[in-house]
């Protein structure tokens, strides 16, 4: 059984492979993460900043505490470039 597609806090339907953002802490830290659909439901892998813990969590656990939004394409491009540069 496939879980129903989640929506972000603006009502935008999310799908497997989408990037999301959420903010936590003081001062606020903006996290970019990738959303995946798995056998155990919707999962989140935090990508940037790289020192965010936990790296993996369920979308259900994340949305208990934080609002999420679909990440803008420009932000995703910038984060993927940063990650590629760090990998070199």
pLDDT of residue 1: 43
Q: Which residues fall within 8 angstroms of residue 48, CB to CB, at 6 or more apart?
A: 31, 32, 79, 82, 83
Specify if 60 maps to a domain: yes
* Whole-structure pTM value: 0.85
Specify if 40 maps to a domain: yes
pLDDT tens for each residue of the chain, 88 residues long: 456 789 999 999 999 999 999 999 999 999 999 999 988 899 999 999 999 999 999 999 999 999 999 999 888 999 889 889 988 8
pLDDT of residue 61: 94
Specify if 61 maps to a domain: yes
pLDDT of residue 86: 87
pLDDT of residue 3: 65
Q: Which domain holds residue 72?
A: 19-87
Specify if 9 maps to a domain: no
Using DSSP's 3-state secondary structure scheme, residue 66 falls into coil
- Side by side, the strands of the sheet bearing 56-58 are 56-58, 41-48, 29-38, 19-24, 69-70
Specify if 25 maps to a domain: yes
């Amino acid at each position: 059984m496939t879980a129903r597609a989640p929506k972000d806090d603006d009502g935008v339907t999310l799908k497997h492979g989408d990037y999301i953002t959420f903010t936590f802490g003081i001062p606020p830290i903006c996290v970019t993460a990738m959303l995946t659909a798995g056998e155990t439901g919707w999962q989140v892998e935090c990508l940037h900043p790289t020192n965010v813990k936990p790296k993996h969590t369920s979308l259900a656990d994340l949305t208990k505490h934080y609002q999420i939004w679909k990440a803008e394409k420009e932000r995703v491009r910038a984060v993927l470039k940063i990650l590629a540069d760090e990998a070199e």
